[in-house]
Structure 1
């Protein structure tokens, strides 16, 4: 038996009587300083997050450039797994730390549901976690659009299998610092024969901050109430802390908890996905559907919602503006409802508008589906101008963080990325990451005649992934102290 007991009556999510209504109506007002509209909510409260107990990887934006690595572990011996948790609690960087224990680097640790079982967490406690987490990503593949060549039977082993128990993520400013950090972090699992490293993926962020398709990445970050980290859109108010961290009120007034509370508090769900990008195919498709290099770049911008520099169409609709794209104070400061409700500037079906409709009129409440997104490139870049696939594996390791797997990641993936009903586009999928099969299309609103791209292929193939939970530091210690 474990050294704690669960009360007979417990609930994973508690909420006030009005739990079905948002905590304050979402509306907008005009800023006296800029004259632009700002999204507001009826109630604004200041929340003091326990930053000393929250892993830094949850809330802190990543530096640039940087190098990163993902290492997966299998636990074969429960005692050694618990020792790994104890040691990890001393290595992991807290959100409150101005500097990591590893120097100019930090380490995060997450566990799968299989990992919690391997550590001996009782079923009564596991039952208080999100049911999507308990099922695992492979079991949710059809709902996520991971079908055909993206289906779990085609995933890179051991991704999506019961062998994946712990995910360690390390990042640093460069490869040398990264390896030094990993060497120091290795103290968490050295001399533990019952813990085996079974997979590793090295990643990198280029100085240009671009991903393999050539677009500037990592631009949009939501502000989290009480975190101390500013969001990238000054026109939006911070989201409730409970949207991203368990143990705090969310936008609906609900409170996500686990039993015991220490296990879930200050933790978050993390979705890790390895996404292979068909860069040559993407380039060839743009070339085949344009009549000049200028038209090709405009088409690329309409598909993404941004120019490759990162400049948004919303602020630079006719031409690229590299200075705007590189300006972190301006390149995400825009909304849609007033200036572009019909999508003539930024198409409703483009990637960035699907991922975050902001204040646009769509089915659902966009604030309830926001996530923290982190993407890191892997593999060698395809040289500029090359239109033939060289056979190399390249793409992004994606991490999505939030407190609600169902209404955040899974909703966005199934309803916004792989459907178009939410903005009146039928079954149209995201032109970049959607599970297209060559039969879909993408519409660009235009006067007097709209432009429609036909036969969209699948540009991004899922190589595998995991649903994980990133515990607070107290929870890591609690896991380490578990007793049979």
Structure 2
């Protein structure tokens, strides 16, 4: 059964309370497995042509009311603050957006801990501050479906005036949706109240929709502040896009330096991620990989940390436990439900091989677009970067950082709790180097049409 068929089997329309027909499909619809796709970055040279392009693209963007449809591709679009400015959105409405969004990702580098090799001056040219006005993403089930979608999108782009294509980047992963390091990716996704899709075992209760989509009650009981007017903000959300170059060769060399056998190296890699490469969690398969478990969505996320408070099965500082602490007791208290995210990350480059060496990393051909959706996107990513990823105080690990996505300036260590004494492994490097990104707003379908028609002008006429 495909992932889309599995989703359709869990969908119950009588439990829907969200306006699915107005929400972009990419927000609630999981990517296919295997998957291919493309990210395209565009710049608006003049407002009228840019608005014309939005109007042309809008009919091609599927809504979230397509859970049960056998779509072979779907398109999502998101706009930067400078993009909204270029469209002509009035200043009083621009000011209703969150300050981090107004400033943009590059300007928030201190809050994101994007320094050293991750600093904005080292990013790809397409992510030069102010250049990327619109990000267009297409997910497809295969190359043929992607090419058909691209042909339609290019027809509309060719007809539009005043818009420049800055660049495009293909991505994809084979069956199993492995990341650049060979691990199954995007396993743990939150269940969303009112979406019509019941939670899987291990997902606990559905999280309030307002944590992900603007205009609905959040975990605090009330909707979060949203851009005004309501036609612009409601059913939209915010997106964080971060492109990373994965240093797979350095990762392989680290494993070989600290594991004499293939089994020892696999165990160390699993301890760093919190799962085996198949996706089987250490909490359920602590000693050896279990591919059948890893491939089973009804079992591979059904666990908690209450019985492993010291991290002897799943290290406290591993990547998975940091980014979703679940029921773990944290030194610095926080409500983990307001830091949950919908992940739409995409892998690019050749599949993982243990034969990749450090010299291969200079080619920059492997990596991941870390993309997530949240109504609190900017607060969440900045909190994660400051506390959960690039610090360890919340789990009594001081300045120890995430061994997979942390910024390691100089070689640092990774701690594996065990009996009788914990094991500390030195030599951890920055295995994922930031190559650019942006803070984006993903409008509802009605908002896209409103922007295309410069709806604020009509509102002004009626005032």
Offset of residue 373 of structure 1: 1.2
From 205, 211, 233, the counterpart of 1:237: 205
One of 61, 82, 87 as aligned partner of 1:92: 61
| Counterparts of residues 55-204 of structure 1 (less than 5 Å) | 55-98=24-67, 103-204=71-172
The answer to which of 359-368 and 181-190 deviates more is 181-190
Which of 426, 437, 444 is matched with 2:398 structurally?
A: 426
1:206-225 correspondence runs (5 A): 206-225=174-193
For 1:467 and 1:100, how far apart are their aligned partners in 2?
Answer: 30
The whole-number CA distance in structure 2 between the counterparts of 1:282 and 1:251 is 38
Structure-2 residue corresponding to 1:30: none
Q: CA deviation at 1:97?
A: 2.3
Q: Tell me, yes or no, if the aligned pair for 2:252 and 2:354 is still in contact at 8 Å.
A: no
2:248 maps to 1:279 = yes
Structure-2 residue corresponding to 1:302: 271
The answer to whether the 8 A contact 1:112-1:466 is kept is: yes
Distance change >3 Å, CA 416–CA 241, structure 1 → 2: same
> 1:143 & 1:194 partners in 2: Cα distance?
34
Deviations 1:228-276 (A, max 9, x none): 2344444510100000000011001231322101101101101111110
Greater CA deviation, 386-395 or 220-229? 386-395
1:326 matches 2:298? no
2:16, 2:196 within 8 Å by CA — same for their partners in 1? no
For 1:190, what is the secondary structure of its paired residue? helix
The whole-number CA distance in structure 1 between the counterparts of 2:165 and 2:69 is 23
| Aligned CA distance change for structure 1 residues 352 and 201 (closer, same or farther; 3 Å) | same
Number of residue pairs aligned between Structure 1 and Structure 2: 437
- Matching residue of 1:468: 440
Q: Could you say which residue in structure 1 is the equivalent of 2:5?
A: none
Give the conservation status (yes or no) of the 8 Å contact 2:35–2:177. Answer: no
The answer as to whether partners of 2:203 and 2:301 remain within 8 angstroms in 1 is no
Matched-pair contact (CA < 8 Å) for 1:306–1:313? yes
**What's 2:341 paired with?**
371
- Counterparts of 1:220 and 1:168 in 2: how far apart (Å)? 25
- Aligned partners of 1:421 and 1:427 also within 8 Å: yes
Alignment partners' CA distance in 2, 1:374 and 1:232: 18
Q: What displacement does 1:225 show? A: 0.5
Alpha-carbon distance in structure 2 between the residues aligned to 1:145 and 1:206 = 32
Deviates more, 1:365-374 or 1:236-245: 365-374
Pair 1:259-2:228 in alignment: yes
CA gap of 1:441–1:66, structure 2 versus 1, over 3 A, is same
Structure 1 segments (4+ residues) deviating >6 Å: none
2:280 maps to which of 304, 311, 314: 311
Partner deviation per Cα, 1:65-122 (whole Å, 9 max, x = no partner): 1111011111112111111121222111100025779x51100011000000000111
1:454 alignment partner, SS class: strand
Alignment partner of 2:412 out of 436, 440, 449? 440
SS in 2 for 1:435: coil
Say if 2:93 and 2:229, in contact at 8 Å, map to a contact too: yes
Matched, 1:398 2:370: yes
CA distance in 2, matches of 1:221, 1:235: 8
**Residues 252 and 286 (structure 1 numbering): CA distance in 2 closer, same or farther, change over 3 Å?**
same
- Map of 1:49 onto structure 2: 18
More displaced stretch, 374-383 vs 259-268: 374-383
Q: What TM-score, normalized by structure 2, do the two folds share?
A: 0.91
Distance 1:235 1:458 in 2: 31
Q: Distance in 1 between matches of 2:416 and 2:100?
A: 35
Partner of 2:146: helix, strand, or coil? helix
* 3-state DSSP of counterpart to 1:462: strand
Give the secondary structure class of the aligned counterpart of 1:255: coil
Deviations 1:280-338 (A, max 9, x none): 1001101101232211111111111001111000001111111101111110111112x
Report if the CA contact (8 A) 1:379-1:392 is conserved. Answer: no
**CA RMSD, 1 decimal:** 1.6
Report deviation, 1:47.
Answer: 6.6
The reply on whether 1:342 has 2:310 as its aligned counterpart is yes
Ranges in structure 1 where 5+ consecutive residues have no aligned partner:
1-45
Q: Following TM superposition, by how much is the alpha carbon of 1:406 offset from its aligned partner in structure 2, in angstroms? A: 3.6
Q: Which moved more, 1:406-415 or 1:421-430?
A: 406-415
